[in-house]
Structure 1
Amino acid sequence: MDPADSTAERSTSTRLPPGDFGVVLATLRARRGWSVREFARRANVSEGQICNLESGLRNPTPAVATACDAALGTGGELVELAGAGRCGARPEGVVEAGPVVTGYERVLLELKDIGRSTGPRFVTASMKSISRTLTDAGPHAVGEQRAEIWLLASRFAEYAGWMAQEAGNPAEALRWTNLAVRWGAHGGDETVAAYALVRKAFIAQHRGDTCAAIGFADQAAGHPAANPVIRAHAARRAAQGHARRGDAEACQEALERFRSHAVEAIGDRTPHWGPRIENGNPRLIEASCMLSLRRFELAADLFAAEHRQAVPADSNSQARFSVRQATALAGAGHLDDACQIVEATLPVIKCIDSATVRAELGRFVEQARTRRASPGQLALIDASAALSIG
């Protein structure tokens, strides 16, 4: 066992996360970034047994509980949890969805927190295996509970698509996004189909197809199932697409739509697809659009004002907007300030390993190389260029 595994196991031996045996098992596995296959290997238990335990189709035998406890280093707590009983598997293999949905909703929140701070590498395996567990469990649930499981599977698929994009794999991102649409339909929710168009707009924007990005954003806004949240996300993508095409008037119109829909969405407690709209700072979004329109001084001022008032909470957003601020400063001729920001941000970018952040770093390099730089600045720009291509 390597030292990192040993440290991780000791850290979980004091207190288990909430939930029944299957949910706790999935949560602990997800925190380590282990796939079902990897965990099954470590516990010397079959992959099928792990999936059945996590989905609630089977109860753990004492031997399996002991093997899982040893692999996770929980000091007997998993064995005790198994002995204390859990919501048992229902007759004829029917899943009791309540504990499954509640537990995996917590797991999804944990994985999103990890993904925002570290990028896709520590969450992708867990997202895939839990999606498999949920889709295996879906057909065994009944009535509204079946719909709840399929909707949760759809949410996992949507986030797996985002992580695939962060890993620089747009084809895989589209595959997961399409799965999210299909599984959402199984759960009776058509809004995921509308939000999937927003995701496709972002994927197109990331690969440089601005025309397609605007087209997908407009389709999302006009989708019959689009709600104010989805229309706000669509307007944001449209604004950034128009900015990259240099159409300032269309960009401003889209920004106005974004602000209007965002206000309309606040207080709406229905389930939402994508990031919470209140986390999309309108001034930072406007600053990003001004950057794409090459209005560098205005963009730099907007970024500076917003960073003084409210810094984004997660590492990915912090790095993305910091690099955009640096790009604006470089474009405005303030290369010293730009390089200071990038120098402070490079360690974070190395840690989170995000394709979208690396793309932003590439834009900084492109802009910085138009300016006269000192030897130290040239070294920083070269290091940034190397990191931007992975």
Structure 2
Amino acid sequence: MDAAERRAGTASTGESDSTGLPPGDFGVVLATLRARRGWSVREAARRANVSEGQICNLESGLRNPSPAVAAACDEAFGADGELAELAGSGRRDTRDDNIAESGPVIAGYERILGELKDIGRSTGPRFVTASIRSIIRILTDTGRRAVGEQRAEIWLLASKFAEYTGWMAQEAGNSAEALRWTNLAVRWGAEGGDETVAAYALTRKAFIAQHRGDTGAAIGFADQADHHPAANPVIRAHAARRAALGHARRGDAGACRDALERFRGHAAEDIGGRPPHWGPRIGNGGSQLLEATCLLHLGRFGPAADLFASACGPAIPSDGNSGARFAVRRATALAGIGRLDDACGIVDATLPAIRLIDSATLRAELARFVEEARPRSAGPGRLALIDASAALAAR
């Protein structure tokens, strides 16, 4: 197991106090352990010397493990007997023609999705994609067998996994796959009775278009999301963010300012404090950081640098995807006002995280830094760092 896999294996939350295993019954725990290691169903089946169908049936709750299969899974995951013991302590009521009681399955996979997002933020798409796709296969297979409320719950959960898979495809630099998974999230969300995913998906399409460099399409999708009948204040705030960034990239300061005001207004409406159903919390891209990024795109480097410093504080937030992203933006603003030593210091501290996460969106931010820093007067040390940044951005 390499360092990145160890990081993925330990980037988990909510473990039980009395055991090294995460909470849940055998199937949920098995899926969680597999997700933490980034193993596909095929890889887990190979290591345990069982069939892929057995792994899928265990994780979805369609089957309980036999003692032999439980022991094989325990050995494959190095659970020191705890997984085998769990198999005998709590067994689900299962039926051949339908899913078992969906509550534990839904709660377990919701928790797994949260863990996968934590892992993805710190290690990048390559360490979570196999697990996500395997879980989607299990959920969609199970959803086709389910009926009534269980069916709706499972398809809605599949939609959440598909939406995150779209994010990871975008982070891997595959816009076509990102759009395909986003469209699947809309379809499966409708199967689950939730139309808000269709509104949120428009903000995702705006981001994908923005990443492709199609600013006009990005603004258009953002406007559609803002006017979608199922949009709530959180979705409208995300739409206003995309619109503000799009107008800033176009150099339209007035339209950007109007979109920023809409963002602040919608963010103020979101007073419940609960995690949003779709998308990140508004606080993960708060007003100051959004305004600073817009100023950066408008070429107003001094005010952007001041706002980034105010929002981020004295520390260099280089760990994790969002921290690395804002760190590089801050460095770009500093390079723009000639503070190349400070800018290179931030990038130098951030490059290890960018190498580990291997994100297309992060590499695009790094390319923007190189574009701004390259023309500046630089000594050998700075030039070496800029060259290293350019090489990493071009991967």
Give me the TM-score of the superposition, normalised by structure 2.
Answer: 0.94
Please tell me the residue identity of whatever aligns with 2:352: P
- Within 5 Å, give how 1:311-350 maps onto structure 2: 315-350=320-355
Alignment partner of 1:226 is 2:228: no
- Within 5 Å, give how 1:144-293 maps onto structure 2: 144-267=149-272, 269=274, 271-293=276-298
Please tell me the residue identity of whatever aligns with 2:62: L
Cα distance, 1:91 vs. partner? 5.7
Range 185-194 or range 303-312, more displaced:
303-312
Alignment partner, residue 98 of structure 2: 93
Range 11-20 or range 94-103, more displaced:
11-20
Structure 2 CA distance for aligned equivalents of residues 310 and 199 of structure 1: 30
Structure 2 CA distance for aligned equivalents of residues 338 and 368 of structure 1: 8
Alignment partner of 1:57 is 2:62: yes
Range 241-250 or range 367-376, more displaced:
367-376
Range 299-308 or range 138-147, more displaced:
138-147
Alignment partner, residue 20 of structure 1: 25
Range 138-147 or range 279-288, more displaced:
138-147
Q: CA, structure 1 residues 35+342, in 2 after alignment: closer, same or farther (shift >3 Å)?
A: same
Structure 2 CA distance for aligned equivalents of residues 41 and 107 of structure 1: 22
Q: CA, structure 1 residues 194+376, in 2 after alignment: closer, same or farther (shift >3 Å)?
A: same
Cα distance, 1:87 vs. partner? 2.0
Please tell me the residue identity of whatever aligns with 2:99: V
Instruction: Kindly indicate whether the alpha-carbon contact (under 8 Å) linking 1:287 and 1:302 is maintained by their aligned counterparts in 2.
Output: yes
Secondary structure of 1:86's aligned partner: coil
Q: CA, structure 1 residues 278+73, in 2 after alignment: closer, same or farther (shift >3 Å)?
A: same
Secondary structure of 2:152's aligned partner: helix
Instruction: Kindly indicate whether the alpha-carbon contact (under 8 Å) linking 2:62 and 2:96 is maintained by their aligned counterparts in 1.
Output: no
Structure 1 CA distance for aligned equivalents of residues 299 and 343 of structure 2: 16
Instruction: Kindly indicate whether the alpha-carbon contact (under 8 Å) linking 2:316 and 2:327 is maintained by their aligned counterparts in 1.
Output: no
Alignment partner of 1:298 is 2:300: no
Cα distance, 1:56 vs. partner? 0.6
Q: CA, structure 1 residues 309+265, in 2 after alignment: closer, same or farther (shift >3 Å)?
A: farther
Range 22-31 or range 92-101, more displaced:
92-101
Range 5-14 or range 99-108, more displaced:
5-14
Q: 1:372 aligns with which of 371, 377, 383?
A: 377
Structure 2 CA distance for aligned equivalents of residues 254 and 7 of structure 1: 42
Structure 1 CA distance for aligned equivalents of residues 306 and 337 of structure 2: 10
Cα distance, 1:88 vs. partner? 2.1
Structure 1 CA distance for aligned equivalents of residues 315 and 191 of structure 2: 40
Instruction: Kindly indicate whether the alpha-carbon contact (under 8 Å) linking 1:161 and 1:173 is maintained by their aligned counterparts in 2.
Output: yes
- Within 5 Å, give how 1:108-147 maps onto structure 2: 108-147=113-152
Please tell me the residue identity of whatever aligns with 1:379: A
Please tell me the residue identity of whatever aligns with 2:289: L
Task: Provide, for residues 60-116 of structure 1, a one-character-per-residue CA deviation record: whole Å limited to 9, x for no partner.
Answer: 111111111110111111111111132221363333211110100110111111111
Instruction: Kindly indicate whether the alpha-carbon contact (under 8 Å) linking 2:8 and 2:127 is maintained by their aligned counterparts in 1.
Output: no
Structure 2 CA distance for aligned equivalents of residues 317 and 8 of structure 1: 18
Cα distance, 1:268 vs. partner? 5.9
Secondary structure of 1:152's aligned partner: helix
Secondary structure of 2:313's aligned partner: helix
Q: CA, structure 1 residues 5+158, in 2 after alignment: closer, same or farther (shift >3 Å)?
A: closer
Q: CA, structure 1 residues 50+91, in 2 after alignment: closer, same or farther (shift >3 Å)?
A: closer
Secondary structure of 2:30's aligned partner: helix
Q: 1:387 aligns with which of 381, 389, 392?
A: 392
Instruction: Kindly indicate whether the alpha-carbon contact (under 8 Å) linking 1:205 and 1:213 is maintained by their aligned counterparts in 2.
Output: yes
Alignment partner, residue 72 of structure 1: 77
| Percent sequence identity over aligned pairs | 75
Instruction: Kindly indicate whether the alpha-carbon contact (under 8 Å) linking 2:288 and 2:311 is maintained by their aligned counterparts in 1.
Output: yes
Secondary structure of 2:162's aligned partner: helix
Cα distance, 1:271 vs. partner? 5.0
Task: Provide, for residues 260-316 of structure 1, a one-character-per-residue CA deviation record: whole Å limited to 9, x for no partner.
Answer: 001101216485200011322210110000000000111011111111179769611
Structure 2 CA distance for aligned equivalents of residues 145 and 224 of structure 1: 26
List alignment gaps of at least 5 residues for structure 1. Answer: none
Structure 2 CA distance for aligned equivalents of residues 153 and 118 of structure 1: 23
Number of equivalent positions: 389
Q: CA RMSD in A?
A: 2.2
Instruction: Kindly indicate whether the alpha-carbon contact (under 8 Å) linking 1:151 and 1:184 is maintained by their aligned counterparts in 2.
Output: yes
Secondary structure of 1:15's aligned partner: coil
Range 25-34 or range 135-144, more displaced:
135-144
Secondary structure of 1:93's aligned partner: coil
Structure 2 CA distance for aligned equivalents of residues 195 and 151 of structure 1: 14
Cα distance, 1:54 vs. partner? 0.4
Cα distance, 1:5 vs. partner? 11
Structure 2 CA distance for aligned equivalents of residues 125 and 58 of structure 1: 23
Please tell me the residue identity of whatever aligns with 1:201: A
Task: Provide, for residues 30-72 of structure 1, a one-character-per-residue CA deviation record: whole Å limited to 9, x for no partner.
Answer: 0000000111111111111111110011111111111111101
Range 239-248 or range 67-76, more displaced:
67-76
Please tell me the residue identity of whatever aligns with 1:147: A
Structure 2 CA distance for aligned equivalents of residues 275 and 96 of structure 1: 29
Please tell me the residue identity of whatever aligns with 2:103: G
